[in-house]
Structure 1
Amino acid sequence: MLVLGAAAAVLACAANAAMPVSGVAQVPRSDYQALHWRLIGPFRGGRVLAVTGVPGNNRTFYFGSVDGGVWKTGDAGRTWKPIFDHEPVGSIGALAVAPSDTNVIYVGTGEGDMRSDVAQGDGVYKSTNGGRTWTHLGLADTRQIARIIVDPHDPNIVFVAALGHPYGPNAERGVFRSLDGGRHWQKVLYLNDNTGAVDLAFKPGDPRTVYAALWQTRRPPWSVYPPSDGPGTGLYVSHDGGDHWTHITGHGFPAHPGRIGLAVAPTRPDWLYAIVGGAWNTAGLYRSEDGGATWRRLSRDPRITQRCWYFCALTVDPANAERLYVMDTIVLRSNDGGKHFLALKGDPTGDDYHQLWIDPTDPKRMILGSDQGTEVTLDGGKTWSTWYNQPTAQVYKISTDDRYPFWVYGSQQDSGAFALPSQTIGYDGITMEEFRELTPGGENGNVVPDPENPNIVYGDGTGQPPPCRSSMCAPDRCAMSIRCWPIPMRGIAPIGRCRWCSSP
């Protein structure tokens, strides 16, 4: 379910209550047909995998939420406007602004990672007027689109990296190319129905040279971390605009890579960086200085490859080939070509950063997407805009109490549980002033108030230590953990399979 704030889940619960259930009073649908959707929050950003901006424009940026559509700012992140709400899908995996015509925007739907709660899409969309209107361009069965790149000189030449179905095989995956602005598509790189494409990059100054990363992976629905890796994973290059491809193997590149993330260096066109996941003895940061012919591993720092299946993203400074940024649980920066990394932003508990776009005309101007939302900087990272102005939260579970007006409780992905009122007497409506953070429930569990005392809230969490947990939150903000079965103990595996988000 797509939840843009908590209101959607509340009304969905009302609809479910009208379904026939033995022994339960029935509510005719006509009794609530006059209800309208109303946003109540929280205004705390949700997970973002796709960000971009307009080169040379220091105010206009875009981001794509994995469950909240596409958003645009004209004031460098001070305010955001939804521009994709009239389309039938809300999960966004990729965004690309055409460099030669910035009114042309391509959107790839379906988040391009393999979380156990992955949200799927229905293909590619295009706008020719800066996001005011959209046209669906097909590729509906790709389900997950991880990257889109547009020829820097021709807005009609576009490449799409389609990861495909997360839970099973399908044919509509791999690298697709359009030469006519998306009216027709050609599958130009395809290995098999278990292997999709996860990243793409043009060689700077030569868009006929295209690099592509394929990833063979599968998400078992009972698994929390990580998804599976397969032998189809690999790195490819085309020197004729995608007509023919060569598999890059050997010469310093690992023979059995995990997920691969790519980045090119605009000031050194032959330099190609790759973050490679997989086995500890081969994972790390690699660089080729001859367009992919030979490679050397620059770093095996575990901070840049932990959970590579979830992150695996890097960006090179457009003015300095030796300065690069790696997105992981924190943002790391290297000033010496990847030999050493310093933490730039985040904390060890993990804000979970996914993509960084840097303006090619001004390296101080960036936009960053994370599990917490989107931030913009105009001064090279010294200051950032807030993510507390984006109602794009992924809310796993929802409940209400019996007060009037009633309060809504939920658990938000990677941000934790919350409570907020269903209405307020303030002129500005429901704001973050009324928002309350909660201890019970964590980021993915049930959050349920005591029916006789809403100051007492119970919650559980799956996949957190302990994996099944109940807590009690009293008015003095204290919390108590109450253990319940199953409890993992040292040397003893938990019984049965565990999902990230269990049913209530």
Structure 2
Amino acid sequence: MRIRLPSRVIVTVAVIFMHAAGNAQQAPERFNVDLLKGFTYRALGPYRAGSWVTSFAVPDSPSRDHLYTLYVGTRNGGVWKTTNNGTTFEPVFDGQPKLSIGDVAVVPSDSNIVWVGTGEAYCARSSNSGDGVWKSVDAGKTWTNMGLADSHHIARVVIHPTNPDVVYVAAMGHLFSPNAERGLFKTTDGGKSWQKVLYVNDKIGAVDLVMVQSSPDILYAAMYDKVRLPWHYELGGPESAIYKTTDAGKTWARLGGGLPTGRIGRIGLDVYQKNPDILYAVVENGNRRPPTAQEAEQDKRRNAPPAPRTAGNEVFRTDDGGKSWRKVNAGYEAALNKAPYSFNQLRLDQNDTETVYITGQSLASTNDGGKTWKGLDWPSDGVMPRAFGDWRVMWVDPLDSNRLIFGSDGGVNISYDRGKTSHHAYNLPLTEFYAIGVDMEDPYNIYGGLQDHDSWKGPSNGWAGEITLTDWVTVGGGDGMYNCVDPTDSRWLYNNREMGSMWRLDQKTGVQTSITPQRPAEAPPPRFNWTPPIALSPHNPSIVYTGAQVVFRSLDRGDHWQEISPDLTTNEDAKQHGEGFISYCTLTTLAESPVAPGVIWTGSDDGKVQVTRDG
């Protein structure tokens, strides 16, 4: 049925809408980016903790530069440079759009020319992509993008020892999807144009590359076959392999001769430059092997039948330029097997063919060619034993084997006695925050959860008008995540670490109480995200929320919990049992409306947004 309105009603409605539109146009903006121009930023800290370092570059010459200049690539903090052996560091890459660094390299024949490959060269779910390669011709003062923007993750930049225009780039490509711009690239005109010289397919990337300095037409490349999905990680495949060229990349041969095949993951390489027929490789072997007698006994004590194990990282050596390889480690060193997708860097002492270093939780090292190893346990009994672990990158001075510069999730460490002692470059202001919180004190305090470095609290201003090292204190452990403070009484702090462990800290007494919610024995266990959410009710901060696949609520500061929702994720069974110890179909965020009590919103990693309006 059609309804006909009187003309005066239509006119009245039109006038009302015109008036409303006019008011909307005249209403002042509540926020404008120009408002931010009045703010200036200052470094607050925390100090000394350090964070994930990805790459080092040291000039070959002149001698003073070799001794005192160091470029440091970081996971999320750009490139830093020191010209006084670490007394001070300055950021030299902050003006660029992408600050995740895969590799840094200085031209051997001209220390003013520096190359940076962006996009960290790891396969973590949190890995950040880059925008190709950058070049500086004035030692880092200015930069020019030289292409390969779709490569996303650059693992190596290798430069000809005498011709600065010849550069090779090992690109891993997209982490979660296929793409064509991956493999090994070469320029002969200083980056104006690029040629793809080694390519397998749109899923296989290049993860390592070494050049024989005395014969620069000879290079060895490691190709990497893996699958990364949000809910599954396939560590390797048949296309992971070592390739060799003797004609500057025109042709390549895939090497065998004793190297494992099948389910192979990340490979790290180095060549002994004084005798380049000698190479070492650390190979992630994902094939299955029978349990050792000790492992079978462990299974028996758990009332389980002896189960096959993944072979794990294996170290190989060739003395004939890759024609034949022999395994030099036992193959069961557990410390070598922590997440090879974000470790597996290998470096040789260029003055001793028997000394090898490999990154991992500890720094694994051998001084007898692999017969015996140190640094396989934590705390470490090997190189740099007092330094922070999770080692990611190494530089061994080819002119002085006592001088080591190694990088970890704790930053940069320098040794002058072959790793017996080391100096931590604590003045390099690097930190990776998961989340930030504040309290309502005056001056207010800032709280943050750090990657690998606990949760911290620091003031927005110090008693002397500045914030110093001693002003920051730890307030939680692990990979610190969320920190939520009661806005009405900052005595009460709630925080968590990876995978859901949760605490309440009484900041008056210093007592920390575990308040991790549990489910009934008959229910599926809580499925927490790596960074589980915490929220306090804006209407009553004694009410605490957290989420797994369901929402938990406590009415008494975490002493008791209720489940107040069903599973709010897609709950796809096929996405909950993938390899790689990934917790998926989990809640990643939640919040209660500040306007209406009981209106609660959630979001999950599988794309679901849910709301309740009745608490």
Rounded to whole Å, the distance in 1 between the matches of 2:503 and 2:387 is 21
1:323-472 alignment, distance < 5 Å: 323-343=355-375, 344-345=382-383, 351-426=389-464, 429-439=466-476, 442-463=478-499, 467-472=500-505
Rounded to whole Å, the distance in 1 between the matches of 2:249 and 2:124 is 30
Rounded to whole Å, the distance in 1 between the matches of 2:69 and 2:31 is 47
Change (3 A) 1:493 1:259: farther
The 3-state SS of whatever aligns with 2:335 is helix
Does the CA contact (< 8 Å) of 1:117 and 1:501 recur in 2?
no
| CA displacement 1:169-207 (0-9 Å, x = unmatched) | 111111111111111111111111111110000124211
Among residues 277, 280, 301, which one is paired with 1:273 in the alignment? 280
Change (3 A) 1:32 1:71: closer
Residue 242 (structure 1) shift? 0.7
Rounded to whole Å, the distance in 2 between the matches of 1:406 and 1:184 is 53
Change (3 A) 1:200 1:456: same
Rounded to whole Å, the distance in 1 between the matches of 2:508 and 2:526 is 37
Residue 27 (structure 1) shift? 4.8
The 3-state SS of whatever aligns with 1:304 is helix
- Code of the residue aligned with 2:497 in structure 1: it is G
Rounded to whole Å, the distance in 1 between the matches of 2:423 and 2:236 is 37
2:255 maps to 1:248: yes
Among residues 517, 529, 554, which one is paired with 1:484 in the alignment? 517
Rounded to whole Å, the distance in 1 between the matches of 2:512 and 2:312 is 44
Rounded to whole Å, the distance in 1 between the matches of 2:370 and 2:419 is 19
Residue 473 (structure 1) shift? 4.3
Residue 63 (structure 1) shift? 0.6
Among residues 140, 151, 160, which one is paired with 2:149 in the alignment? 140
Residue 216 (structure 1) shift? 1.9
Rounded to whole Å, the distance in 1 between the matches of 2:280 and 2:178 is 30
The 3-state SS of whatever aligns with 2:150 is helix
Rounded to whole Å, the distance in 1 between the matches of 2:361 and 2:41 is 35
Among residues 253, 263, 267, which one is paired with 1:260 in the alignment? 267
Change (3 A) 1:265 1:444: same
Among residues 34, 38, 42, which one is paired with 1:34 in the alignment? 38
Does the CA contact (< 8 Å) of 1:444 and 1:501 recur in 2?
no
RMSD: 2.6
Rounded to whole Å, the distance in 2 between the matches of 1:493 and 1:316 is 45
Change (3 A) 1:284 1:205: same
Rounded to whole Å, the distance in 1 between the matches of 2:336 and 2:251 is 32
Rounded to whole Å, the distance in 2 between the matches of 1:449 and 1:272 is 54
Q: Pick which of 42-51 and 471-480 moved more.
A: 471-480
- Code of the residue aligned with 1:149 in structure 2: it is V
Rounded to whole Å, the distance in 1 between the matches of 2:134 and 2:504 is 44
In the other structure, the counterpart of 1:292 is: 322
Rounded to whole Å, the distance in 2 between the matches of 1:227 and 1:455 is 45
Rounded to whole Å, the distance in 1 between the matches of 2:36 and 2:312 is 58
2:68 maps to 1:59: yes
The 3-state SS of whatever aligns with 2:276 is strand
Change (3 A) 1:190 1:306: same
The higher radius of gyration belongs to: 2
Aligned-residue sequence identity (percent) comes to 34
- Code of the residue aligned with 2:473 in structure 1: it is R
Change (3 A) 1:485 1:350: farther
Does the CA contact (< 8 Å) of 2:387 and 2:413 recur in 1?
no
Among residues 148, 156, 175, which one is paired with 1:166 in the alignment? 175
Change (3 A) 1:349 1:448: farther
- Code of the residue aligned with 1:289 in structure 2: it is D
The 3-state SS of whatever aligns with 2:179 is coil
- Code of the residue aligned with 2:413 in structure 1: it is E
Q: Structure 2 unaligned runs (5+)?
A: 1-28, 287-309, 376-381, 528-548, 550-570, 577-582, 591-615
Does the CA contact (< 8 Å) of 1:106 and 1:125 recur in 2?
yes
Change (3 A) 1:380 1:228: closer
| CA displacement 1:126-165 (0-9 Å, x = unmatched) | 1122111111111111110111111122222111110111
Rounded to whole Å, the distance in 2 between the matches of 1:282 and 1:412 is 29
Does the CA contact (< 8 Å) of 2:72 and 2:104 recur in 1?
yes
Q: Pick which of 149-158 and 193-202 moved more.
A: 149-158
- Code of the residue aligned with 1:47 in structure 2: it is W
The 3-state SS of whatever aligns with 1:208 is coil
The 3-state SS of whatever aligns with 1:45 is coil
Change (3 A) 1:339 1:471: farther
Does the CA contact (< 8 Å) of 1:123 and 1:142 recur in 2?
yes
Change (3 A) 1:145 1:501: farther
| CA displacement 1:115-136 (0-9 Å, x = unmatched) | 1111111000111221111111
Rounded to whole Å, the distance in 1 between the matches of 2:86 and 2:181 is 36
Q: Pick which of 125-134 and 418-427 moved more.
A: 418-427
Rounded to whole Å, the distance in 2 between the matches of 1:72 and 1:503 is 38
Residue 444 (structure 1) shift? 4.5
The 3-state SS of whatever aligns with 2:456 is strand
The 3-state SS of whatever aligns with 1:241 is coil
Rounded to whole Å, the distance in 2 between the matches of 1:158 and 1:355 is 21
Change (3 A) 1:501 1:75: farther
Rounded to whole Å, the distance in 1 between the matches of 2:338 and 2:223 is 19
2:191 maps to 1:157: no
Greater RCO (CA < 8 Å, at least 6 residues apart): 1
Residue 434 (structure 1) shift? 1.0
1:23-102 alignment, distance < 5 Å: 27=31, 29-43=33-47, 44-55=49-60, 56=63, 57-102=66-111
